[in-house]
Copies of this chain bind each other. A is one copy, B any other.
Amino acid sequence: MAQMVRVHNLMVSSDGYAAGEGQSRERPFGHADPARLGAWAFATASWPDRSDPGGSRGLDDYMVRDFHRNIGAEIMGRNKFGPQRGPWADHEWQGWWGQQPPFHTPVFVMTHHERPSFRLSDTTFHFTGGEPAGVLRRALAAAEGKDVRLGGGATTIRQFLDADLVDTLHIAVAPVQLGAGSRLWRSPEELRDRYHHDVVPSPSGVVHHLFWRR
């Protein structure tokens, strides 16, 4: 089967923002509260960082656990990787995820500024400039026949959508308004010309939007 480019578990507000304004080391999502955007996911049995046992195994868990299925590489924007902008002042920052990042594959961080690759546990981070199509070629090769996850944020996903490089998307819309920040869309209707679209309200209050190519 052909390799696919997939978006999973991208959490956005009801007005379409995946992150707020004012990202910092202390606030990776800026003025947005990740606990409110992601409450549906954090309650599931499959959430990778859960510290308490148990967790739900209903619809939301299906969504969360599909994150790893047949994924061989991830592409992410620089702002998902960290709060720095411009040239790398130092190489101390290694992402938000500690010594055990939840990716377990090569990760390609899109940036105009060079930086050497490094490895943390079973995740290797590479830093790459260039257009989406070129970055995707590298990620597809690294994925060795498996699919590529497009990890976000919203700006990176928009770039890949504009280049028509995305096969499937799962966007989880939380009942929260943000008003400003990094925006994925004004309305999910924007994608309907190119994608089939399932709208699936969850008992948890989030609405899952699933898109696949027409």
A62 interfacial contact with B, CB 8 Å: yes
A131 interfacial contact with B, CB 8 Å: no
Indicate if the CB atoms of A59 and B203 lie closer than 8 Å: no
A63 interfacial contact with B, CB 8 Å: yes
Complex-state Cα separation, A57 to B2, whole angstroms? 14
Q: Which of A160-202 contact B (CB under 8 A)?
A: 168, 196-200, 202
Indicate if the CB atoms of A212 and B57 lie closer than 8 Å: yes
A126 interfacial contact with B, CB 8 Å: no
Complex-state Cα separation, A57 to B211, whole angstroms? 8
Query: Could you jot down 13 A-B contacts, CB within 8 Å?
Result: A57-B168, A57-B210, A58-B198, A58-B210, A58-B212, A59-B200, A62-B63, A62-B66, A62-B210, A65-B69, A198-B202, A199-B203, A200-B200
